[in-house]
Amino acid sequence: MDEQVHCWSCGAPLELDLDEPVGRSTTCDLCDADVRACRGCVYYDPVRDNACREPSAERVLDKERANFCGFFRPGRGGQGVAVDAVADEAKRRLEALFGKR
């Protein structure tokens, strides 16, 4: 079963040929976010060292910009959007509990 790939930034479906490599200049048609960015990769994991589950990957400082990582594989299901939603909800709850600084 082939799943649709979604933009890590806005969650829009992406028209990608998964049999072809994703180019550095590929962007989301809706929000213009770089597709070939750490945040759009299946290996992206913000709780891991270097925010990556691939231990051999080189460090990338800006996870939202296009890069040359050879391990990049497009994430399916808008992983970054879900991570952001969880982080935003946690932040909202902390601010409600402790107040905004």
Q: How many domains does the chain have?
A: 1
Q: For the whole model, what pTM was predicted?
A: 0.72
pLDDT at residue 1, rounded to an integer: 38
- Give every CB contact of residue 33 below 8 A, 6+ residues apart in sequence: 7, 8, 9, 10, 27, 40, 64
Residue 14 pLDDT more than 70? yes
pLDDT at residue 86, rounded to an integer: 62
Token pair of 82, please? Answer: 């879900």
Single out the residue of 33, 64, 57, 23 nearest to residue 43, CA to CA.
57
Contact (Cβ atoms closer than 8 angstroms) between residue 28 and residue 10: yes
Domain housing 91: 1-101
Pick the residue with more confidence: 101 or 60? 60
Q: Please report, for residues 12, 47, 93, the alpha-carbon distance to residue 44 in angstroms, rounded to integers and kept in the order given.
A: 18, 9, 25
Length of the chain (residues): 101
Residue identified by tokens 């200049």 is 25
pLDDT tens digits, residue range 35-94?
A: 999 999 999 998 888 999 999 999 999 999 999 999 999 987 554 555 556 667 777 788
